[in-house]
Amino acid sequence: MVSQVPADLPRLVIENVRPSVDGGRYPARRAIGDAVRVVADVYREGHEWIAARVRYRRPGQEPWCTVPMTYEPVWDRCSGEFTVDAVGRWSFAVEAWTDRFTTWRRDIEKKLRAGQDVTFDLIEGAEMVAEASLHAEDADSVALADAAVLLRSDERRAGDRSRIALDEQLAALVLQHLPPADLTSTDRVFDLTVDPVDAAFASWYEMFPRSQSPDPGRHGTFRDAAERLPALAELGFDVVYLPPIHPIGRTNRKGRNNALVTEPGDPGSPWAIGNSDGGHMAIEPALGTMRDFDRFVKRARKLGIEVALDYALQCAPDHPWVAEHPDWFFVRPDGTIKHAENPPKKYEDIVPINFWCDDHAALWNACLDVLLHWIRHGVRTFRVDNPHTKPFAFWAWLIAEVKAKHPETVFLSEAFTRPTRLKGLARLGFTQSYTYFTWRNSAAGLREYMTELTTGESVEFMRPNFFTNTPDILHEYLQTGGRPAFLVRLVLAGTLSPLYGIYSGYELCENVAVRPGSEEYLDSEKYEIRVRDWNGAGNINADIALINRIRREHPALQRLDNLRFGVSENDSILFYHKSARDDELLIAVNIDPHIAMETMVHVPLGALGIAPDEPFEVHDLLSDATYTWQGVRNYVRLDPDVQVAHVFHVRRLVSP
């Protein structure tokens, strides 16, 4: 029996292409200005040299460009890179082929060193040079044709012909014009989502506009909130995030500290969205008008601040959608609309949406219209409330629809859920993700978690946004650690991740829980208006401004994948190294907010390019002190009542 052998089998194997997510099923993520390093395993039988290139295309179906890849034969690996300079969906693929001429030059060089006859080898080379001349033009074609004649010439001495064979200029011409005989391409095109710079590096501040009034007892407005913006710009924040700004439901409105009975004047929870004044496209009248909001966005933009809005897909019982589309909700057997609950918790002021209702196409489009409405009013960043409680298919559809029209849009996923689902949301399109950082408060826990976030496939698609606190989360560490605890978590958030955020009151070290064992704030701003003295005693405003300035001035703090933990001989002091573009930082943080700690840290001299006997300076960017260190082991002492951390900038005393 004779079986038919396919005629188009690939000669080379190309696999394990990076960056990729789930084998290319989802796009990897980059930001404008990033150099995208493409790596692939490429091999074939035998000992032939391999050539490869990256083909890539910018957004908008533009022509394909190519960059060569470097071949590492020991590892059967090829790598090359290109820089992304536009927001949107990029594509790339890897092509490889047998580099016949380089293989020939390598072999003939070996034979010459061994004193072997290369007469027939020179003729083989001449054939490749002649073939290249047929695909070249003008002077290149003539030069190649002449070289082919010389390589074949019996009148030339063997030494002369060998020198021609090994001529670097000839090799460059042949490699440019000789067509691949066995060109092989990846079996799929890989995608990249490229976002704005602040999608990958930004400092966030969460504030309730209704609490920005300087007058106790008066509901704050967008005008009041706009007056606060210059102070936030001075603190170095890039994004101001506003909880829902829509009309708040009146039915089952919650009172102070989540009370079921309200008192006169209780404003209710902003997450109970909608009443007779409107729903998700309307503004709470007490905050002002749409024109006031537009002015707020415009002023923020002038100060270099982006405005992020909460996108919470849930409704108060008196939201217009409930009356107009009761079928969009969960209806009980008695005809009433089911309120939200997460047993044993109940949220009587909220009714959840049924995303798989019979009319879900209209519902999904209504949700899309909400986003497009606020984008038209200058918003391009959205913090999405509890996305893991809505269908993943819905988010994949919605984000794709928005990105097709507005590729610069940023989505922050507030999904405190199981790791698989948290990462699943990031894969399908969420730009940033809340994480479990709030609950990682030991050196061991931080090392383990940061290693997970900065290595492996997740680094290609998930951007962690390290919020130190939220209106729902006041961790025990902050409740019991006093002012030093707030400084510790600030330094960790701002130096471990390019994206971090704080919620109002953090700068004042607010740390009182509603009850022992709870992470809820006493007198939570979710249910009442809080007027604060932002320059009150014990504030950490100067520390926040300093951290944000250091972050902007040091490229090493603007990347996630460059974190390397070092050895600290006291586990209460976390020690790590971040590096980028000759910016070398060594960071030591006392994790214990109560006790002074000392240790010997082991400096990664090899990574820094410093000899064991070479002295070097470390300049503490927090205290402005400078120390001279030498060798691997160096002394650190951190007293939380004085200074909780060092952020050392390494300076060579001897030019490398």
Does position 5 have pLDDT exceeding 90, yes or no?
no
Q: CA of 563: how far to CAs of 29, 465, 586, in Å? A: 18, 15, 10
Output the DSSP codes for 44-96: -SSS--EEEEEEEE-TTTPPPEEEEEEEETTTTEEEEEEE--SSEEEEEEEEE
Report the pLDDT value the prediction gives residue 296, as an integer from 0 to 100: 98
Distance CA 248, CA 349 (A): 10
Using an 8 Å Cβ cutoff, are 69 and 39 in contact?
no
For 456-513, the three-class secondary structure string (H helix, E strand, C coil) is: CHHHHCCCEEEECCECCECCHHHHHHHHHHHHHHHHHHHHHCCEEEEECCHHHCCCCE
Is the four-CA dihedral 77, 81, 87, 92 of positive or negative sign?
negative
pTM of the model: 0.94
Instruction: Give tens-digit pLDDT for 191-242.
Output: 999 999 999 999 999 999 999 999 988 999 999 999 999 999 999 999 999 9
Report the pLDDT value the prediction gives residue 289, as an integer from 0 to 100: 98
Does position 157 have pLDDT exceeding 80, yes or no?
no
Instruction: Please state whether the peptide bond connecting residue 344 to the residue before it is cis, i.e. omega within 30 degrees of 0.
Output: yes
Distance CA 383, CA 467 (A): 12
> How are strands ordered across the β-sheet holding 633-638?
567-568, 597-602, 633-638
Report the pLDDT value the prediction gives residue 380, as an integer from 0 to 100: 98
Instruction: Give tens-digit pLDDT for 51-103.
Output: 999 999 999 888 999 999 999 999 999 999 999 999 999 999 999 999 999 99
- Which residue among the candidates 121, 195, 306, 385 is catalytic per the annotation? 385
**Arch. (CATH architecture) of 204-451+465-527:** Alpha-Beta Barrel (3.20)
Q: Which residues contact 187 (CB under 8 A, 6 or more apart)?
A: none
- Which residue among the candidates 99, 414, 460, 507 is catalytic per the annotation? 414
Report H helices in 114-218.
119-134, 138-152, 158-165, 168-177
Report the pLDDT value the prediction gives residue 8, as an integer from 0 to 100: 81
Does position 1 have pLDDT exceeding 80, yes or no?
no
Residue 385: active-site member? yes
Does position 599 have pLDDT exceeding 80, yes or no?
yes
Burial (CB < 10 A; 0-12, 13-18, 19+), residue 11, is: middle
DSSP state of 256: G
Report the pLDDT value the prediction gives residue 344, as an integer from 0 to 100: 80
Report the pLDDT value the prediction gives residue 2, as an integer from 0 to 100: 84
Instruction: Give tens-digit pLDDT for 555-568.
Output: 999 999 999 999 99
Report the pLDDT value the prediction gives residue 340, as an integer from 0 to 100: 87
- At the topology level, CATH places domain 1-194 in Immunoglobulin-like (2.60.40)
Mean pLDDT value across residues 487-509: 98
Residue 414: active-site member? yes
Does position 359 have pLDDT exceeding 80, yes or no?
yes
Domains of the chain, residue spans: 1-194, 204-451+465-527
1-194 and 204-451+465-527 in the same fold:
no
Do the bridges between strand 567-568 and strand 563-565 make them parallel or antiparallel, or are there none, so unpaired?
unpaired
Does position 656 have pLDDT exceeding 90, yes or no?
no
Do the bridges between strand 340-342 and strand 573-580 make them parallel or antiparallel, or are there none, so unpaired?
unpaired
